[in-house]
Amino acid sequence: GTTLGAAAAETGRYFGAAVAVNRLSDSVYVGILNREFTSVTAENEMKWDATEPSPNQFTYASGDKLVSHAEANGMRVRGHTLAWHQQQPRWTAVLSGTALRNAMLNHVTQVATHYRGKIHAWNVVNEAFADGGSGARRDSNLQRTGDDWIEAAFRAARAADPGAKLCYNDYYTDGQNPKSNGVYAMVRDFRARGVPIDCVGFQSHFTAQSPVPSDYQANLQRFVDLGVEVQITELDIEGSGSSQADSYSRVVSACLAVSRCTGITVSGIRDTDSWRSSATPLLFDGNGAKKAAYTSTLDALNAG
Ligand code: G3I
């Protein structure tokens, strides 16, 4: 393949980007998006604060724009995200207990119903595990509604959109460590009890301090062995030149070596579009030119 999307498609995978909907009016941005990518994820526009700014009042205009763009250009849409402790609307701050649980479940149901049939995979729950060595759930307002909040969210999402793959998504879970062990135990438990979960997303935000782990592929594989698909969902790698290019290549090769690693999404298009632009972590520079990391990514996709 001569583009990321075409090369990934040769092994049945997608290659996606996180998209900021307000940049769809930037012709350089859209040109790269349409040429290279076969899946899109809304960077912010499908989150709780964006879609339900007041209780039970839903605003889908921005998310719908992205879905229309994807449909017009033959791209899939990854939904992000139904339940997360961040980017909640202000009105949830005064809720707790049953009231917050019900608000969360209504949110999941309404949003997943609105987008039914249009989303290939939903990040149903995002970042629910704690950093560090505990392997435990993260303390949050949602967690304080009871440990079963995650499975309740997955059941509500399945009921609303039975055709979407339902994923758990997190960061610092890319290698085997206490946090990924915690997620692994949850997924194993969900599979054993028939809680509907189809996939696990590995955000894969890498930095100098937190590089691609040596057991990245083995970690993806152990999740696949539980019966779920895996996807790389927010890939970005701090750095430049050949070291950044090598790291991208390693990530892509790891995914291609795992048969049920079904797609890769990078967390933006140009370095200047990144939520951490000073890390220059993406595949295109601020002018939209291909970086060394682009070439190594394309080569790794074509080697699969
Ligand atoms: O919408 C307001 C706008 O009205 C206001 O004028 C502007 C002024 O700063 O802020 C806008 O909100 C910003 C929003 O992005 C949309 O641009 C928020 O301040 C800003 O915090 C928010 O950042 C997002 C961040 O999540 C929030 O945690 C990033 O764009 C987004 O890339 C990032 O993505 C997350 C993934 O969803 C999950 N994994 C981690 C990743 C980084 O936190």
- pLDDT number for residue 261: 99
The pLDDT tens digits for 69-116 are 999 999 999 999 999 999 999 999 999 999 999 999 999 999 999 999
Distance CA 294, CA 280 (A): 13
Q: Is the pLDDT of residue 270 over 90?
A: yes
The active-site residue, picked from 45, 127, 229, 234, is: 234
- According to the model, what pLDDT value does residue 222 have? 98
Question: What is the value of ipTM here, to two decimals?
Answer: 0.92
Which pLDDT belongs to residue 152? Answer: 99
pLDDT score, position 304:
86
Q: In this predicted model, what pLDDT tens digit does every residue of 133-187 receive, in sequence order?
A: 999 999 999 999 999 999 999 999 999 999 999 999 999 999 999 999 999 999 9
Distance, in Å, from the CA atom of 105 to the CA atom of 152, rounded to the nearest integer, reads: 7
How far, in Å, CA of 31 to CA of 34, rounded? 5
pLDDT at 146: 98
Q: Closest Cα to atom 11, ligand 1: which residue?
A: 44
How confident is residue 290, by pLDDT bands cut at 50, 70 and 90? very high
Give the pLDDT band (50/70/90) at residue 229: very high
pLDDT of 19: 98
Percent of the chain, pLDDT > 90? 100
Asked if 52 is an active-site residue, the reply is no
Instruction: Output the ligand 1 site: residues, CB below 6 A.
Output: 43-44, 86-87, 126, 171, 203, 234, 275
Span from the CA of 44 to the centroid of ligand 1 (angstroms): 6
Nearest 5°: the CA angle 20, 22, 26 is 100
| Environment class of 85 (CB within 10 Å of its CB; exposed 0-12, middle 13-18, buried 19+) | middle
Is a pLDDT exceeding 90 seen at residue 256?
Answer: yes
Return d(Cα 23, Cα 33) in angstroms, integer.
Answer: 11
34, pLDDT greater than 90: yes
Nearest-CA residue for atom 21 of ligand 1: 87
Confirm if 201 and 264 have CB atoms less than 8 A apart: no
User: What number is the average pLDDT over the span 41-64?
Assistant: 98
Taking a C-beta distance cutoff of 8 angstroms, is the pair 200, 136 a contact?
Answer: no
